[in-house]
Amino acid sequence: MKLRFWLSAIPDYARLPLVFVVIWNQAVYCGSKLLAAGWSHYDLTTAFDRATPFLPWTVSVYLASCVFWVLCYIYCASQEKRQAYRFLCADFLAKAVCLVFFLLLPTTNVRPAIEGSSLWCVFMRILYQMDSPTNLFPSIHCLVSWLCFLGVRDAPRTPKAFRYGAFCVAVAIFLSTLTTKQHVIADVLGGVLLAQISYWAANKAPVLSRYSRLADCLSQRGR
C-alpha cells in the first residue's frame, strides 16, 4: 500500500525517467569506482579541512540525507511536466559530468582514526568500511542536496516552510560531509557549483527539448 501511494504521487510521464536517473546514478558511482580502482588518486585536502573538527555524531545527518533526497525527488518529479523534466534533466547532466571527473581526476582523502565506543563512532566505522574514500570531487552528497533545494524552490505552490527547510537541510548535509571527513571543502563547492550549472543548463530550450523527447519515448515504452 505504501509503495502504491508513493507511485500514485508521480505522474506517468515522470515515473520511468525517475527510475532511470536512479539507475544512472548507481552506474556512474559504482562503475567509475571499478574502473579507477587501481589508478593514482589526488588529495584535495587544504588547511581549512585539516582545521575542521571531526564530529562523529554528524553521521546522523549524513546518513539521513537519503530520506531528504527521496522525499524531494518524488516531490520534484510530481510537478508539471516541464518543471519535472528540468529537474530530472539537471540530475542526468550533473551525473554525466561527475563521471568525467571521477575518471579524469580521481580523488581521495585521509580519514581520521575513530576512537571511542559510542553509537556514533560505531556508525562511523560502518560507514568507512562500506564507503571507500574515492569519487570525492565533486561531492554527490552536496550536488544532490543542492539540486533538491533548487527543485523545491522553483516548484509552484511550494510552501515557504518547505523551501526554507530544504535549504537548511541541504546546508546541514554540506557541513556533515566535512565533519565526518567524507569530503573536503573543494568537493562541497564543486558539488554545489555543478548542481547550479546543470540546473541552469537544463532550462535551456535546446537541452530541455532533447531530454523531453527522450523522456517521453521512455515513458511511452513503459506503458
Q: Answer whether 180's CB lies under 8 Å from 128's CB.
A: no
Residues 6+ apart with CB under 8 A from 182: 62, 127, 131, 133, 136, 141, 176
pLDDT digits (tens, 9 = 90+) for 12-54: 999 999 999 999 999 999 999 999 999 999 999 999 999 999 9
For the segment 69-91, the average pLDDT, to the nearest whole number, is: 97
Per-residue model confidence as pLDDT tens digits over 164-175 = 999 999 999 999
Q: How far is CA 139 from the centre of its chain?
A: 8
Confidence label for 88 from pLDDT (cuts 50, 70 and 90)? very high
74/152 Cα distance (integer angstroms): 10
Helix (H) or strand (E) run with residue 42 in it: strand 42-43
Domain locations in the chain? 9-34+42-221
What cell was used for 118? Answer: 559510542
pLDDT number for residue 9: 79
Please, are residues 168 and 88 in contact by the beta-carbon 8 Å criterion?
Answer: no
Cα first-last separation, the chain = 21
Task: Please check the confidence at residue 91 and state whether its pLDDT lies above 50.
Answer: yes
pLDDT attached to residue 196: 98
Average pLDDT of the residues of the chain: 94
Q: Cα angle vertex 106, ends 86, 198, to 5°?
A: 15
Largest CA distance in the chain: 54
Q: Is 138 helix (H, G, I), strand (E, B) or coil?
A: coil
* pLDDT for 223: 59
1 pLDDT exceeds 60? no
Mean pLDDT of 128-140: 97
pLDDT score recorded for residue 219 = 76
pLDDT at residue number 221: 67
Total number of residues shown for the chain: 223
CA distance 190 to 195: 9
Please check the confidence at residue 3 and state whether its pLDDT lies above 60.
Answer: no
Alpha-carbon distance 20 to 15, whole Å?
9
- 10: helix, coil or strand? coil
Outline where the chain has alpha helix (H): 2-8, 12-35, 47-51, 59-77, 81-104, 119-130, 140-154, 160-179, 185-201, 205-221
